[in-house]
Amino acid sequence: MPDTKEINEITKDKNQGDVGSRELRNELHRLQEDFHVDEKKLREISEHFQEELEEGLQDHGKNIAMYVTWVLGFPTGKEEGSFLTVDLGGTNIRVCYVSLQGSHKDIGIKQHQYKLPENIKTAEASELWTFVAESLQKFIEEQNLRGSKESPLCLGFTFSYPAIQGCIDHGVLQTWTKGFNISGVEGKDVASQLRSTISKLDLPIELIAVINDTTGAMIASAYKDPATIIGAIFGTGCNAAYMDKISNIRKLKDSKAVKNLSPDTPMAINCEYGAFDNARRVLPLTKYDKQIDEESPRPGEQAFEKMSAGLYLGEIYRLIILDLHSRGVAFKEQNIGKLRDPYCIDTAFLSKIEDDDSPDLHESAQTFRQNFDVEMTRDELRFSKHVAKVIAIRGARLCATGVAAICRKQGINKGHVAADGSVANKHPKFKKRWARALGDILGWEKGVADGEDAPIVIISAADGSGVGAAVISAMAMERESRGEKARIKER
Ligand code: GLC
């Protein structure tokens, strides 16, 4: 059983005695109050979350979109075949060649990452798709992969942005998220844009499936682990996928696309819950959260994501430093010029500062010096460490509200949450804080969340964008070989 001090450490950073200056201590106290999400608030957020998940299943166009993905059920683990996969991430695109041997254990992967051009986030559609198609071309040449018009290489495309899917090889982007702002893609079918660029380059590739990273994480994990219940990304963005019954997806009741499917058929849902509470009814927004939103390319959108995902945690931290500097409270003598660059602090930086146990925090001092030419005083270093912790604790606790809402809605009380993303993987304390908050919301006895046998646990997702995209493509092709219609097959 953890002692009370440890519980406080997880829910709220209460120790501020080591910050010498009174002014800084007061600021820290204010931040701790503003960023603290207590158990009652967590439950309130999660309840409202559950309502928004339900609304998204009820009607189209709701705040949490609850997109149907046309992934009809979990894999058997016997799917086989070789697939090309491509994942458009924030800084890289990753191309893989995945060979599924029909036994969930044997998977062969060859892969390569290509760095996205600096300005791609604000480029035009044609530049994006040319870059993706040329990377595929390079990869198949480097790997000596052969395909032909008659027998093309099959491609699974991980496109992790909100997209409406009329079927598995189709996805109309609704709005860019995670700071992307490429013109000419919103409102368009990304599969068809990629397909036509592939055909301009005359590549022997056929696009089979468009998937979201959350669905990929869930399916890749389920391929090996039948205890998988949810796929979740705690990374640059924040989102989850789970499996629901078609009869629960009431917005599909008049849809021709499901009329031949039994109401019990499972359908993977990409929640797109980064948009939770865009009406800002329950989220405890600080002035920094409001500033991030106002200065983002899509103000008003992704309210939940902007408080909890990796892209924004470092930015919140940066805004706090700038705020204190401009009010003359701290960092007064510093040249903070380099910190004026938006989004210059990432999650790894934040966790490094928080986890620094070196004498006098000299490692943090060096990190600030090397990255930003800032010479922090000892007091400022201590303050910075506390602030890094306060932001990370709030992020992890908020992340638990979405998963808890899915579990409560589905009546799930045990299983594995297959998680991926920089926050889950690079922030060593995230999982523990997340588990505690989940336990708080779901009413687990104190201590259960810390044990090996907590009923719901986070596990590392097994390569969603590679294996997940390949398994989903294999599942779609199997459906077709049984005579079911899985794709539009537009060429
Ligand atoms: C954003 C995207 C979503 C993705 C998530 C994690 O929320 O809109 O599609 O799953 O980031 O990458």
Task: Out of 177, 185, 210, 302, give the residue to mutate to test ligand 1, the one with the largest number of ligand atoms within 8 Å of its CB.
Answer: 177
What is the per-residue pLDDT for 484?
A: 85
User: 116: Cβ–Cβ under 8 A, 6 or more apart, which residues?
Assistant: 89, 90, 91, 92, 93, 131
- CA-closest residue to ligand 1 atom 8: 161
275 Cα nearest atom in ligand 1: 7
Cβ atoms of 228 and 74 within 8 Å: the answer is yes
- CA-closest residue to ligand 1 atom 5: 237
Sheet holding 153-158: strands in order across?
A: 107-115, 92-101, 80-88, 153-158, 205-211
- CA-closest residue to ligand 1 atom 11: 237
| Strand segments (E) across 21-175 | 67-68, 80-88, 92-101, 107-115, 153-158, 163-164, 172-173
b/e burial code for range 205-239 (CB count within 10 A of at least 16 → b) = bbbbbbbbbbbbbbbbbbbbbeebbbbbbbbbbbb
- Gap from CA of 338 to ligand 1 centroid (Å): 29
What is the per-residue pLDDT for 2?
A: 37
3-state secondary structure of 98: strand
pTM here is 0.95
CA distance from start to end of the chain = 60
Task: Out of 87, 91, 161, give the residue to mutate to test ligand 1, the one with the largest number of ligand atoms within 8 Å of its CB.
Answer: 161
- How far apart CA 111 and CA 85 sit, in angstroms, is 9
What tokens does 104 get? 């969930």
DSSP string, 245-301: EGGG-GGGTT-GGGTTS-TT-EEEEE--GGGTTTT-SS----HHHHHHHHTSSSTTS
DSSP state at residue 195: H
- Gap from CA of 278 to ligand 1 centroid (Å): 15
What is the per-residue pLDDT for 11?
A: 57
Task: Out of 164, 233, 302, 423, give the residue to mutate to test ligand 1, the one with the largest number of ligand atoms within 8 Å of its CB.
Answer: 233
Residues with CB under 6 A from ligand 1: 160-162, 177-178, 212-214, 233, 235-239, 272, 274, 305
Using the structure block, give the residue that is written with the tokens 């103000």.
Answer: 299
Beta pairing partners, 95 = 86, 112
DSSP string, 312-366: HHHHHHHHHHHHHHHTTSSSTT---GGGGSTT---HHHHHHHHT--SGGGHHHHH
- CA-closest residue to ligand 1 atom 12: 237
Max alpha carbon distance in the chain (Å)?
74
- Gap from CA of 432 to ligand 1 centroid (Å): 23
- CA-closest residue to ligand 1 atom 6: 237
Total Cβ atoms within 10 A of residue 483: 6
Cβ atoms of 254 and 267 within 8 Å: the answer is no
pLDDT by 10-residue block (mean), the chain, 491 residues = 44 62 92 96 98 98 97 96 94 94 83 92 96 98 95 97 96 96 98 98 97 97 96 97 97 91 96 98 98 96 97 97 93 87 94 94 96 92 95 97 98 97 90 96 92 91 90 96 79 47
Q: Look at the alpha carbons of 306, 307, 308, 309 in this order and tell me if their dihedral is positive or negative.
A: positive
What is the per-residue pLDDT for 446?
A: 86
